[in-house]
Structure 1
Amino acid sequence: MLVDADDCEIVGEANGSAEMERLLIESAPEVVLCDTSPADALRVIEALSGEGAALVLLGEDHSEYQLMADAVLPGWAYLRKEADRIEILGAIRAAGAGLIAVDRSFSLLPGSAFPLADAEILPPDETLTAREREVLQQMTHGLPNKQIAARLNISQHTVKFHVASILAKLGASSRTEAVTSGARRGLVSL
């Protein structure tokens, strides 16, 4: 799948994390593409953490990418095991450039948007309500309260109340900061 890519060179292949650890030392790859079992994913991530190689992991369980977010990787990507050549090449290029890429189907699952460090997760008593999330999503479009009210069929006063609550819960001092914080926390999609 990668042999024909002009900007990729395969420096080795491994069967299992033990063999991969050996190849890391011998080959010093820039990016590691790994299709592993959930049980072995942690070992692979730990082996690569701090080694300077980016990781593209093919998986099925969106909770695995929290492990990747917590690791010290220069870049990483998490794709479905069924990812095609174009998706895999794009993820390799992104991770190699120090970026993070996540398959759209994982990032849009309710409650499983982009993984975050524990410090960025809202405490249980500070979660946004469903309506607050709707208002925050409308805020991503830069809409004023009047337009948000019309779109959600609620009063401007109610929108104002929700915006104030969102700002407080996210610790934001402006609507822009709230949208940025909400996006980082996976509460809205941009």
Structure 2
Amino acid sequence: MAKKPRPKQVRVCLLSRHPVVLHEFQHLLSHFDFAVRAQRLDSADSTRLRRAPVYVLDAYGPRPETEVLIAGILDRFPKTRLLVLAEKFSESNAFPFLRLGAKGLLTYEQAREQLPRALQTVAAGGFWVPRTLLSRFVDSILSRLRTRPWVSGAAGLSRREREVLEALLGNLSNKEIAAKLNISERTAKFHVSNLLAKFSVQRRADLIMLCFQTQPPAS
């Protein structure tokens, strides 16, 4: 029997101002199937960075510099995935990172346990953001948007799937979706589960995040 091909290694670039941080997380990831490159930062200049599918950025230092670096990386490499590490996260520092396009947030303590799984999830197109923080961010998105977000790839959905997606992006529960579309709650749950699978995300909030981060800039 032919052997199954090994999964392709995820290429990761670690970015930090501190050699100790780089060494710790490079050593951690060396026990897993990642191709890791570590680079010490001495400024917020992203032009000297080489392309990588996934970046892990240590946000130690002034937040404006971190935001400039995130914006610069994602402007140069729009398809790259970016995960941010910090001592702690709150709405004041996490929300700007998410608005800029970060796909994952981990404290240093969480990263020591969760970084390998978080990288696999982010590299596959998902998000790794604490549930409570993500929920508050999604609420802030929906309360500010004048028009409902949409998502790239929706054109390939059936009419019913598009209806469920529109309701889901309105932050309706399965019960509310069922009542709005005159279907059973079980059917609504079935469609929601299918939509999450089609867009390679695990949570409803992830799908709203995906829509928000892929919106074209306002003209």
TM-score normalized by the length of structure 1: 0.52
Match for residue 181 of structure 2? 173
Retained in 1: the 8 A contact 2:32–2:116? no
Q: Distance in 2 between matches of 1:68 and 1:173?
A: 35
Match for residue 129 of structure 1? none
Q: Deviations over 1:28-77 (max 9, x none)?
A: 22211112143223212211224032100124133555445544x6x821
Question: CA distance change for structure 1 residues 16 and 99 in 2, over 3 Å: closer, same or farther?
Answer: farther
Match for residue 155 of structure 1? none
Match for residue 67 of structure 2? 42
The letter for the 2-side match of 1:2 is: Q
Q: Following TM superposition, by how much is the alpha carbon of 1:13 offset from its aligned partner in structure 2, in angstroms?
A: 1.3
Root-mean-square deviation (CA), in Å? 4.0
Q: Distance in 2 between matches of 1:96 and 1:8?
A: 11
Match for residue 104 of structure 1? 131
Q: Following TM superposition, by how much is the alpha carbon of 1:22 offset from its aligned partner in structure 2, in angstroms?
A: 4.0
Q: Indicate whether 1:14 and 2:37 are aligned.
A: no
Q: Distance in 2 between matches of 1:91 and 1:64?
A: 19
Q: Distance in 2 between matches of 1:15 and 1:61?
A: 24
The structure number with the bigger radius of gyration is 1
Match for residue 28 of structure 1? 51
Question: CA distance change for structure 1 residues 22 and 77 in 2, over 3 Å: closer, same or farther?
Answer: same
Aligned residues: 136
TM-score normalized by the length of structure 2: 0.46
Question: Aligned match of 1:82 in 61, 85, 109?
Answer: 109
Question: CA distance change for structure 1 residues 2 and 11 in 2, over 3 Å: closer, same or farther?
Answer: closer
Gaps of 5+ in 2: 1-24, 150-170, 193-203, 210-219
Q: Distance in 2 between matches of 1:115 and 1:29?
A: 31
Q: Following TM superposition, by how much is the alpha carbon of 1:9 offset from its aligned partner in structure 2, in angstroms?
A: 2.2
Question: CA distance change for structure 1 residues 90 and 84 in 2, over 3 Å: closer, same or farther?
Answer: same
Residue identity over aligned pairs, in percent, reads: 13
Retained in 2: the 8 A contact 1:69–1:116? no
Q: Following TM superposition, by how much is the alpha carbon of 1:79 offset from its aligned partner in structure 2, in angstroms?
A: 1.8
The letter for the 1-side match of 2:26 is: L
